[in-house]
Structure 1
């Protein structure tokens, strides 16, 4: 418990938050060297502020009025401190601040209340994997609070910009649950996205007045998306595997390379998803699990060939599925074996097939990015621009076509570059 010797109240100005020529005045509560600040809703020209006294200089026109108000604020804060001591409360700056503003911390919703409410109301709406990610984020936040605040829960209303910055620093130094390496920047930002969504929920529930994420910016590191080149794709296509499970996984991977379908959507495909398209040919029609958007994909010859191959597959007899079912973890483990056997030195994952469809199969063959975006089921073309980078061969071909057009006789009058 704090005592009178390690508690103090002072006043400062924040020149970094000036509005016009005046700086806001803040009350600073210090308990055991830890500071809590809040604006007293008064401003002053910096030159008229006495830093040592924590008051407005007497020569200022508004000195008497402002200094009298600061004395009142200080008196009330000291009264709050005395009340907390008499009540046997553990003294913290935030507790005294809340007492000053008439906020009873014992009735405030805590981070644990928020986590519990979120998990109860959202579990059925989230996929099992996404829900697990939320639980992981909550675990990290509890660890952070235990280290920073010596508690696993705090009032939601006390989460501010500074706490978010401190949480980011904590995550940057933290090792992953199943890794000796530090968390990657993009992984950290995904944790912040989940915290932001939960705080938006708290805002809608009126547990907080404003969301601290209005000031905190989530910044992802831009990374090149991996994909197979045409040569690498052909190498895997032409490789035959004597081990049935590897041959099956290869076929599923190639199917995705030529359709752009994600793992979770492919595993849900049934014969009912095969429809006749506007051109009279076979298409796939389904709802994307991730975005809940309806997608229609014209099937290329390679994809049709693989569907036909597994039409009478023994394990699918009497079942509606187009393909045998695998866990994503097993698929990716087998793909690593396939990469080794094909001499491909890269981390081959099932999602890489989707990138390959976007780049090597479609964009590099002249398919407009708008079409690729539609087939991939993206709700924003900016997402496609991240996934599908135009490979160097396509750039070279485009520039060669431009050169040839400019050199035609009818275009001789155009300036050559």
Structure 2
């Protein structure tokens, strides 16, 4: 459905000099919006059928040219929205015409990316990844509520202070370590990269904020300790299985996430004639 554009005199706003303001009315999908063109015309100089000033005076020519430009701007905006393949209405056109850009928020962007993850579980994403992003989103919501008394925060207002406040909040409210806080920052940085890719932001605010990490101190089991665990007699079958899985991880170097995905079809006969992992 095409947009229709009309110009009319606003009779209810007659001025002392007996002129009326010219309004533009545009209709799309059964809805309409009106805006003042900031032009004023005497009723006797207005052609209702042509929706333009009559005569060939310089005032008439200037006014009509400006009205043509208003109509052209509305059509240009309409065509831009049409080419974008996104749903829009007359309010979007009106806001664009007035220079009011649509604002997007950080919580909204978390939702956008989480929908992508959920739609692609098993196709490059896992349910665990989605769970971690849900936790990060909840931390962000709590931060916005506790620190700013808000439920959303515009992307354009995210800067160094916002990220630093979030960092302080994580470490004070939840007593998060540097590395745990880094995980939440990693998720928010990823979401903001999505916003940049969607042209909602020009640059990622994290370019000005350095997120630090610390090398964790890891304890290693000796061969003697592993042997003691292996030979330990465990009466409870469930715990014995857990022990076996732990030892399997130690001997193979596989992570728990990888071990949890193992199935019978991954077992093959090796060159030595014994069973082995594929």
TM-score range, shorter chain: 0.5 to 0.7
How far apart in 2 are the matches of 1:187 and 1:236?
Answer: 30
Matched, 1:240 2:233: yes
Matched, 1:118 2:118: no
Shift of the alpha carbon at 1:236? 0.5
**Which whole-Å deviations, capped at 9, do the CAs of 1:70-126 have from their partners, x for residues lacking one?**
xxxxxxxxxxxxxxxxxxxxxxxxxxxxxxxx9636x21112321221121122343
Q: How does 1:126-145 map to 2 (within 5 A)?
A: 126-145=125-144
Task: Report what 2:166 is aligned to.
Answer: 167
Task: Report what 2:222 is aligned to.
Answer: 229
Shift of the alpha carbon at 1:277? 5.0
- Select which of 180, 189, 198 maps to 1:196: 189
Query: Quick one: structure 1 residues 143 and 243, their matched pair in 2 at CA, closer, same or farther if it must change by over 3 Å?
Result: closer
Task: Report what 1:108 is aligned to.
Answer: 103
Shift of the alpha carbon at 1:201? 0.7
Task: Report what 1:388 is aligned to.
Answer: none
SS in 2 for 1:258: helix
Alignment check: 8 A CA contact 2:155 2:201 kept: yes
Matched, 1:268 2:261: yes
How far apart in 2 are the matches of 1:222 and 1:156?
Answer: 32
Task: Report what 2:243 is aligned to.
Answer: 250
SS in 2 for 1:241: coil
How far apart in 1 are the matches of 2:273 and 2:227?
Answer: 29
Query: Quick one: structure 1 residues 242 and 279, their matched pair in 2 at CA, closer, same or farther if it must change by over 3 Å?
Result: closer
Q: How does 1:279-298 map to 2 (within 5 A)?
A: 282-285=275-278
Aligned length in residues: 177
Shift of the alpha carbon at 1:278? 6.7
SS in 2 for 1:183: coil
Query: Quick one: structure 1 residues 273 and 216, their matched pair in 2 at CA, closer, same or farther if it must change by over 3 Å?
Result: same
Q: How does 1:354-365 map to 2 (within 5 A)?
A: none
Query: Quick one: structure 1 residues 280 and 104, their matched pair in 2 at CA, closer, same or farther if it must change by over 3 Å?
Result: farther
How far apart in 2 are the matches of 1:112 and 1:242?
Answer: 49
Larger Rg: 2
Shift of the alpha carbon at 1:275? 3.0
Alignment check: 8 A CA contact 2:103 2:154 kept: yes
Shift of the alpha carbon at 1:137? 1.1
How far apart in 1 are the matches of 2:99 and 2:211?
Answer: 30
How far apart in 1 are the matches of 2:183 and 2:177?
Answer: 10
Task: Report what 1:158 is aligned to.
Answer: 157
Matched, 1:219 2:218: no
SS in 1 for 2:252: coil
Shift of the alpha carbon at 1:138? 1.1
Flag structure 1 segments of 5+ consecutive residues without an equivalent. Answer: 1-101, 176-181, 286-417
**TM-score scaled by structure 1?**
0.40
How far apart in 2 are the matches of 1:103 and 1:160?
Answer: 23
RMSD of equivalent CA atoms: 2.1
Task: Report what 1:390 is aligned to.
Answer: none
Flag structure 2 segments of 5+ consecutive residues without an equivalent. Answer: 1-97
How far apart in 2 are the matches of 1:277 and 1:183?
Answer: 46
**TM-score scaled by structure 2?**
0.58
